[in-house]
Chains A and B, each alone.
Chain A
Amino acid sequence: MNSHTINGSIRILSSEKIDVRYVAKLARIALTDDEVERFGTQLSDLLEHVDALSRLDVSQVAATAQVVESRNVERPDEERPCLNRETVLTEAPQRQGGFFRVPRIIAE
C-alpha cells in the first residue's frame, strides 16, 4: 500500500512513480524499453493532473457508478435465438473443428 491515509481520507501522492512494467504485465501488453520510458513519463504527468482530486472533500460523498436510475433486469429463463457457432467461429484467429484453438495453457 503506497497511498497514505490522512484525516480518514486517502491522499494521492503525485510524486509516486508508476511501475510501468508491472502495470503492463497486469494489462497483458508487451512494451518495448522505449515505451516503458515514454509511457512512464506521460502517465506520471497525467497522475499529477488527476492529483487535483485530492483537494476535494469526498469523505461524506457516495460513489456514483451509474448516473441514471437503474434496476435489476430479469427475463424468463428461456432459450432465445443467438448467433450460430459457425458464424462465430468464422472470425476466430485459429479454430479446430467447433472450437477456438489456443496455445497450450497447462504445461505437460
Chain B
Amino acid sequence: MELFERSAAEIARDVQGGTVSAADVTEAVLRHVHAVDGEIGAYLTVLDDVARAAATRVDERIKAGEKLPLAGVPLSVKDNMCLTGTRTTAGSKILEQWVAPYTATAVARMLDAGAIPIGKSNMDEFAMGSSCENSALGVTKNPYDLTRVPGGSTGGSAAAVAAFEAAIGMGSDTGGSIREPGAFCNLVGFKPTYGRVSRYGLIAFASSLDQIGPLTRTVEDAALAYEAMSGWDPMDSTSIDREVEPVSSHLRGDLSGLKIGIVKEFDTRALGDEIDELYDKAYHDLEALGAELIDVSLPTADYGLATYYLIAPAECSSNLARFDGVRYGLRVEGADVHDMYEKTRAAGFGPEVKRRILIGTYALSSGYYDAYYVRAQKARTLIADDFRKAFAQCDLIACPAASSPAFQFNAKSDPYSMYLMDYYTIPMSLAGLPALSVPCGWITPPGGDRPMPMGLQLTSPLFTEKLLLGAAHAYERATQHASKHKPAFDAVSGR
C-alpha cells in the first residue's frame, strides 16, 4: 500500500513510532496530489511550502518526545476555514484573492495535533449547494466516476479524501454538507453536535446551523479527527463548555443492547426498488449486529426542507452583509457608496448566493417576518421535539443519507431539485443533533456504468458522539462496504 493510501490512524502511529517521517508522508501525498488533482479538482490551493514546513515541525516535535495523535496526517481544509497566510475564498469571487490573517480554532487544533495542511479544498460558494457545482472557482469531480459530482457543499474535501489526496478532510455542515458528500464519495462524513466544534474562523453561512466536522475513509479516523478538533473555545460564544469524551478508544464491535429507530415517515420505497432493498439490507445488518429495530415517528420531519429554506437564507442574508467592498475582498467602484455596495455584491456573488440572500432578505423584511421567519423557527421547535420523543424510545436513528447516489453534472438545473438532496439530513441539522453517514452499499445508477457508493445516516441524541461513532464503527467493521470498489482515477491516470 502506498504511503498516501494509509488511514490517518496508520500514518499517525507510524510517524509517532518513527518508522516513517512526517516529511516522507507529506512528500508522497504532494506527489500524488500533483499527479491526480488535475483530473479531480479537489483543491483550490495546494499548500506545498506550508505543508513541508508543518511536516518539518512535526518531525521535530516527535523527536523532542511529544505525543501527537495526528502526527503527519495529511489534511484537506475546506476553503471556508481560515489558515493564516493562505488564500481563503469560500469558493467565491468576492474572496478570490483574500488571504486570511488568522487561523480558525478547529484548524489550529488539527495542526497542533500533528496534521499537515495539504491544501484548501473546493466548495459550493459560501457552502450553499449539494454538488460543488456552485463553486465560482473550479470544478471538482467524483473520484468514483469523473462524470459525476462529489456532492456538496464540502465536495473538495470529500473528493480529496476519496482520491487519497488527504486522510482527513475538514468540512462544514449546515444542512448536510458533510454527510451528503460523504455518502457520494464512499466516506464517513460526520457532523458533531452543534456547538461541539468552534466556529471561530469558519466563514459564516447560517450561524445557528453551521458545524465543522471530518470526512474520512474510516470511522476510527473520524473519531481521531473529532477528538482533535472539538471542545470549548472562548472565541466562539456558541461553543459548548462540556467535556469531550474519549471516543477513538471506545469504538464498539457490536450493537448489542442498542435500540435503533427506523423512521416511519422516511419510507425508502419511494426511492425505487434497488435503493429500498439496499437500505432494508442495511437495517437488517444493524439487527444482525445485536441491535433491536423499532419503528419511530418524526411527524414534522417532512417540514424540515421548508423550515430550513427560510432559516438558513435568513441567517445568510444577515451574515453575508459584511461583504460590502469596504474592509476586504472584492470592490467594484461606483458613483457613491450605495452604488459601490450594489455593484460589488452583483459582481462578487454567484446566482445561488444571490437567490439565498434575496429569499432571506424577503423572509426578514417588514410584513413578512412573522409569516416566514418566526413561523419557521416555531416549526424548528416541533422538529426538535419529534427527535426528543423518538429518542425516548431508541438510542439511535437510522435512515438514508441521501435519496440517490452521486448524480451527473448539470443534472439538477432547477434550484428546488438540488435542495431536495438534503431532505434526509436537514431535520438533524435543525435539531442540532450529531449525525454521520457511513458507506452502506453500491448502486449503479441508470445510465451509469460504474457502481456508486450509498450512505447510511445514523443520528443520536445531543452530545452522544461516543455512542454514534461507536455504533458506526461496529457497522463498518461488519459490513466492509467501503473497500468493495476503488476510485476511478486509477484507470484514468494509468497508475
Residues of A within 8 A of B (CB): 1-3, 10-12, 18, 20, 23-24, 26-31, 35, 39, 42-43, 45-47, 49-54, 56, 58, 61-70, 73, 75, 83, 87-88, 90-94, 100, 102-105
CB–CB A26/B361 < 8 A: yes
| Residues of B contacting A49 in the complex (Cβ-Cβ under 8 angstroms) | 305-306, 309, 416
Q: Which chain A residue lies CB-closest to B367?
A: A1
- Please tell me if B300 contacts chain A, counting CB pairs below 8 Å: yes
**Contact digits for B333-359, partner A, Cβ 8 Å, 1 yes 0 no:** 111111111110110010100110111
Separation of A47 and B193 alpha carbons in the complex (Å)? 30
Given contacts A67-B194, A83-B101, contact A42 B375 (CB under 8 A): no
A86 to chain B, nearest CB (A): 10
- The answer to whether A93 and B376 touch across the interface, beta carbons within 8 angstroms, is no
Contact B327 A68 (CB under 8 A): no
Can you sample 15 A-B contacts with CB below 8 Å? A1-B367, A3-B367, A3-B371, A10-B370, A42-B355, A45-B415, A46-B416, A49-B305, A49-B416, A56-B300, A61-B381, A67-B380, A68-B193, A73-B237, A100-B327
* Interface contact B375-A65, CB-CB below 8 Å: no
Are B306 and A52 within 8 A (Cβ)? yes
Q: Interface range on chain B: under 10, 10 to 19, 20 to 34, or 35 or more? A: 35 or more
Q: Does B378 contact A (CB under 8 A)?
A: yes
How far, in whole Å, are A31 and B361 apart by their CA atoms in the complex? Answer: 15
Using A42-B415, A93-B326 as known contacts, say yes or no to A29 and B349 having CB atoms under 8 A apart.
Answer: yes
Q: Which of A23, A67, A68 contacts B358 (CB 8 A)?
A: A23
B222 lies within 8 A of chain A by Cβ: no
Closest Cβ of chain B to A69, distance in Å, is 8
The reply to whether A103 and B342 contact each other, CB–CB distance below 8 Å, is no
Task: Let me know if B328 and A23 touch, CB within 8 A.
Answer: no
Contacts of A52 in B (CB 8 A): 302-303, 306
Decide if B125 is an interface residue (CB 8 Å cutoff). no
A67 touching B378 by the CB < 8 A rule? no
- Of B306, B365, B372, B379, most A-chain CB atoms within 10 Å: B306
Interface string of B458-482 (1 = CB under 8 A from A): 0000100000000000000000000
Pairs of residues from A and B, 9 with the lowest C-beta to C-beta distance, nearest first: A67-B432, A93-B331, A63-B377, A58-B378, A30-B342, A30-B346, A91-B328, A3-B371, A50-B306
Are B378 and A63 in touch, CB under 8 angstroms? yes
Nearest CB in chain B to that of A88: its residue: B101
Verify if B290 is at the interface (C-beta below 8 Å from A): no
Assembled-state Cα–Cα distance A91/B370 (Å): 39
User: B207-227: which have CB < 8 Å to A?
Assistant: 208
Known: A18-B362, A67-B194. A31 touches B346 (CB 8 A): yes
Contact A27 B306 (CB under 8 A): no
- A23 vs B342: C-alpha distance in the bound complex, in angstroms? 12
Residues from chain A with a CB closer than 8 A to the CB of B358 are 18, 20, 23-24, 27, 29, 39, 43
Task: Give the residues in chain B near A70, CB-CB below 8 Å.
Answer: 237-238
User: Which residue of A2, A24, A102 contacts B326 across the interface (Cβ within 8 Å)?
Assistant: A102
A51 contacts across to B, CB distance below 8 A: 306
Q: Is the CB of A28 within 8 A of B342?
A: yes
